[in-house]
Chain A
Amino acid sequence: MNKTKNKVRAFFSKPANVILALFAALLVLLTLYPLCELVHHTFVVHATDATVLPGLKKGELTTASWKKLLFTESHKYSLINFYRPMFNSVLLATLSALFALVFGGTVAWLVTRSNLKGKKFISTVFIFPYIMPSWTLALFWLNMFKNPGVGTGSPGFVYSLTGLMAPEWFVYGLLPMVIVSGLHYAPFAYIFIGGILRNMDANLEEAATILKTKRTRILLKITLPIVKPAILSTFLLAFASVMGSYAVPIYLGSPVNFYVLTTKMKTLQTTAIGQAYIIALVMVIAGALIMMANSLLTGTRKSYTTVTGKSSQISLVDLKGANPVITAVLCLLLFFVCIMPLFSFALESVIIKAGDYSLSNMTLNYWFGASGSVSTTVGDTGILRDPAIWSAIQTSLKLSVCCALIAGSCGVIIGYAVVRRRGTKLSQWVSGLSFFPYLIPAMAFGAIYLAIASSFSFLANSFLVLVLVGSVKYLPFATKSGTNAMLQLSAEIEEAATIFGVSWWKRMTKIIIPIQKASIISGFLLPFTSCMRELSLFVMLVSSKTQTLTTMLMTYNEKGASQYGNAINLLIIVLVLAINFAVNKLTGASIDKGVGGN
């Protein structure tokens, strides 16, 4: 008895153990409990369900929602509302992840292992699509290619200049969605694979060179197998992200009735919320399966991905004659993908009548105009004079700062505890739990919290619920970067201070945090950026008082106020890029450091 008491006391005398125990409990509450609630809600009849499920009263427990969504043959209900969207989701996610992997991986290899020109420009700009909101490219695509032949019929840039009418399959549907999502997640592949290629001991390849191995053979037999775990994780992470994305499908898919799980869920939310919860649950299960696949496929082999060697002299592959061609093509492409959208949004936000790009058709009134200077479906003032916009900017910034502070701090602390107690069951449990929110698609995550908020009145429609959901959702990024930062620091650095009796708090603030400043701030920057451009997570949770810039953008676009939409979009991108740039210059922190790159 006494011995057990001593053991418990010894256990809790270590700050790392206290942190782990605390977060184990907290994470169960914030991730597992909501999950149980979600399951529960799929069996409850809600007010909206009562109309589609005749004969059932609100609050009753039933399996009717499940039956209705999964096994209704009349009017092809199940096919249209569940099976086809699911097939579309999987197809979209697979193709997009593959595209991201091939594109990002190739560029990563070119930048780290060849004598490509303009590496600095390429590596800086290549991250842009990830910093920008995911729908940026989707809107840009529409701005460019929409024409009177498809969709709403308003003319886009290409049509107005050349008169060319792109076919519908090129403007809307699977193809543009794959291109746009793939481009958005390519930086992922670039950061992960590039990080490993950069860290990989060049001796490994040199050893093969000495043995007279051909370049291509080295690439196939040495480099690729070593990078394989990163390739797999990148694929699965990109897959999970695309599965959960909402904005791209709503802009590029819904106008032609190309539905995926997320867009279907949003539709069902207003008509039959019980069925929406089932879709959310399916997405969670898909996420969990992906996580299991990831750890099964890469778990045991991860260890050698971070091998670092002393030799940094890598002999670069000579691209010879192809060099200027590849460089030019890549730069042109990046210019189109990363810089053109900004011009496009700026342009579209000042044009009065769509498709007319003459100076006489332009006005800055959509930005600065006084009341009555413009006329749209949603207002008649410039957005910068609109108090609703200012309130949304404030909400967005406040929300992002809160989420970044909470998720970032927790990430550092969890990272510290997990690394210090590495190998113990508790540490594995906490790091697994903190990664869990990543796998739940943002949309489903929002749905879960919506379900909870409905049972706690202080959460419903509140700012607090947005902060909560944002902090938990971005915890995986923050934890990953916190863990990385701590792994780079030997325990001895801290023990040297422990010997002098320096308290835990002081060890953290005077030693550990100052040394790993850049990595730690990166851990704050990532949640901040993600939160600023988040839509799917918040779209179900915002109320009229807690509109963010992104949900505002959504509303304006839905109501056809395209100048406002473009203006707000530009505003978000400029804000995010400016803050990222400023933080990077001031502290050396950067997004790619946060994701685990170098």
Chain B
Amino acid sequence: MPEIVLKNVKKVFGNKFVAVDNLNMYIADRSFITLLGPSGCGKTTTLRMIAGLETPTEGQITIDGVTVFDADKGINLPPDKRDVGFLFQNYALWPHMTVYKNIAFGLENLKWPKKQIEERVGELLDMLKIRPFVDRYPSELSGGQQQRVAIARTLAPKPKVLFMDEPLSNLDAKLRGEMRTELKRLHVDTNSTFIYVTHDQLEAMTLSTKVCLIESGKLQQFAPPLEIYQRPENLFVADFMGNPTMNFLSADVLEKGEGSLDMDFHGKKLRFHAADPFTDPIGDEIILGIRPEYITLCETGKLEALVYTTLPTGMETTVRILLDGELISAVVFGCVDYPIDTPIQFEFAGENILVFDKETGKRVGIGSVSVIE
């Protein structure tokens, strides 16, 4: 089973636009990797380069120990020699072929014996529950059914690596949820490596074993989803992951101690207790990164703000509070309603409060915060 290694991969379009810049990645066997990032960040380009649909400008790519691309040595294996499958965003089903023909076409091309093709197609028809549609044309199928046919077609030759380019973005919310479940199950059942492109952080969180977050062609962080969520490397990652987004609160450093930090926050003195040693020297201005679930609304809280609005979803309620013109989100479990424009007390809870350097945007510490006076 294959592992994929990218070394110093770079892609320049035209002569100017750098789509992917010096990307290094090690993708372990049987992992489910998501390439995550805002649109235009280079994630699809990265995927297409690994698949062989796009030629990198520089660098080296190996799949399963075989060098499939090397700019210096002039190696560039075509996609079909890389033993990969590719699931396209708009499915790219061939409109002039029936469901059966769409699935079988690739196998016929690989010169499989007819009997074996029939067996394999049958297997996939059952696996993806599309047997009733076997003689229909793509235009006679719903979006969800087309999606399943596309998956069946991609899986047919049993590729070792499966690439998916935003495969769920054309489906409605409910169907998307169902397909997510099936994709994750499919990953286990097919025993292969999945590489998945999405701009939806929730999809990345729920599906993957490891998330690769990219911005403007540069790798920001490559780690398991929960680690990215709890310990983002920088402000961009922290902001991109999580919904509602993390609160970023500016504070001025008053005193730096060994493993602790005193700061001024809207006239109150806060103390930060680091759980791990600081990774970098700390400047005079920092940003506190606090997830909404670590802001507790309670009468004993030492900080006070005004209720700006409440957004209930049923299971939980997001409360937006206003502190000296700065909006802060807090999440409360269950349905709670607060009258608008009334004062409310709050404090910071938990061990996962982050300290970012204001100048570099890098995370320098993680720990807890208490209000001193």
Contact = CB atoms under 8 A, between A and B. Distances in A.
A3 B109 CA distance: 34
Contacts of A501: 78-81, 109-110
A506 interface: yes
A515 B95 contact: yes
B178 interface: no
B202 interface: no
Given A9-B74, A10-B55, A500-B157, A492 B88 contact: yes
Interface residues of B, number: 31
Contacts of B78: 13, 498, 501
A519 to B, nearest CB: 13
Nearest to B71: A6
A492 B92 contact: yes
B76 interface: yes
Nearest to A9: B74
B271 interface: no
A548 to B, nearest CB: 38
Given A10-B74, A423-B14, A490-B90, A499 B96 contact: no
A511 B84 CA distance: 20
Given A500-B105, A500-B109, A495 B96 contact: no
Nearest to B58: A3
A502 B94 CA distance: 14
A219 interface: no
Contacts of B356: none
Contact of A499 (B76, B80, B93): B80
A498 B74 contact: no
A486 to B, nearest CB: 15
Interface in A404-431: 423
Q: How large is the interface on A (under 10, 10 to 19, 20 to 34, 35 or more residues)?
A: 20 to 34
A496 interface: yes
B88 A515 contact: no
B76 A13 contact: yes
Interface string A487-509: 00010110111111110001000
Contacts of B320: none
B205 to A, nearest CB: 27
Interface in B61-98: 71-74, 76, 78-81, 84-86, 88-90, 92-96
A490 B92 contact: yes
Given A9-B74, A423-B14, A515-B95, A498 B80 contact: yes
A155 B96 CA distance: 58
A514 interface: yes
A547 B105 CA distance: 49
Contacts of B86: 495-496, 499
A76 interface: no
Nearest to B86: A499
B103 to A, nearest CB: 11
Contact of A496 (B71, B72, B153): B153
B95 A499 contact: no
Interface string A423-463: 10000000000000000000000000000000000000000
B367 interface: no
B94 A496 contact: yes
A493 B96 contact: no
B94 to A, nearest CB: 6
B106 A500 contact: yes
Nearest to B54: A495
Contacts of B105: 497, 500, 502, 510
A165 to B, nearest CB: 61
Contacts of B73: 6
B12 interface: no
A492 B76 contact: no
Interface string A2-33: 11011001100100000000000000000000
Contacts of B127: none
A495 B53 contact: yes
B228 interface: no
Contacts of B89: 492
A213 to B, nearest CB: 34
Contacts of B157: 500
B71 A502 contact: no
Most A CB contacts (10 A, CB to CB) among B55, B71, B84, B109 go to: B109
Contacts of B110: 500-501
Nearest to B81: A501
B33 interface: no
Given A495-B86, A500-B105, A501-B110, A10 B76 contact: yes
Contact of B92 (A2, A496, A502): A496
Contacts of A511: 94
Interface string A67-99: 000000000000000000000000000000000
B79 to A, nearest CB: 5
B152 interface: no
Contact of A506 (B14, B109, B154): B109
Contacts of A423: 14
A105 B51 CA distance: 48
A2 B74 contact: yes
B96 A515 contact: yes
Given A500-B80, A501-B81, A501-B110, A492 B94 contact: no
Nearest to B48: A495
**Residue of B72, B76, B94 with highest tally of chain A CB at under 10 A:** B94
12 contacts: A3-B71, A490-B92, A492-B88, A496-B93, A497-B105, A499-B154, A500-B106, A500-B157, A501-B79, A502-B80, A502-B109, A514-B96
Given A13-B76, A501-B110, 8 more contacts: A13-B78, A490-B92, A492-B92, A497-B106, A499-B80, A499-B85, A499-B154, A500-B105
> 3 nearest interchain CB pairs?
A501-B80, A6-B74, A500-B106
